[in-house]
Amino acid sequence: MNADIKADAILDCVGLYCPMPIIQTTEHIAGLEAGQVLEVVADDKGIVTDMPAWCKGTGHEYLGMQQQGGEYHVFVRKKHG
């Protein structure tokens, strides 16, 4: 993953467990403009597989993940149209 990705918005899901990070991502990304990047921060390791699957199902672009300590920073670009 490109470490230079700059998020337009950050969603803090630390302390939340499946399915809440995905539910909150769905709600939060709706408020972004097409092409903007959302960074989701979570400590539930389920996000590692859940977010790419959610992106595939919704058409949003999964840009990758960085792990920092016990937190996962996942980057998603909102789809166009």
- Assess if residue 1 is contained within a domain: no
pLDDT value of residue 3: 62
In a domain, 28, yes or no: yes
Residue range of the domain that includes 54: 9-77
Identity of the residue numbered 52:
P
What global pTM score does this model have?
A: 0.93
What pLDDT was estimated at residue 81?
72
User: pLDDT tens across 4-53, in order?
Assistant: 789 999 999 999 999 999 999 999 999 999 999 999 999 999 999 999 99
Candidates 5, 7, 16, 18; catalytic one: 18
Angle between helix 47-58 and helix 20-29 axes, rounded to 10 deg: 40
pLDDT given for residue 2 in this prediction: 55
CATH of the domain at 36: 3.30.110.40
pLDDT for 52: 98
Task: Tell me if 33 is assigned to some domain.
Answer: yes
Find, among 13, 81, 6, 5, the residue nearest to 51 by Cα.
13
What pLDDT was estimated at residue 4?
A: 76
Give the bridge partners for 68, in sequence order.
71
Does the active-site annotation cover 18?
Answer: yes
Is residue 31, in this structure, part of any structural domain at all?
Answer: yes
Number of domains observed in the structure of the chain: 1
- CB < 8 Å & 24+ apart, contacts of 65-69: 65/1, 66/1, 66/3
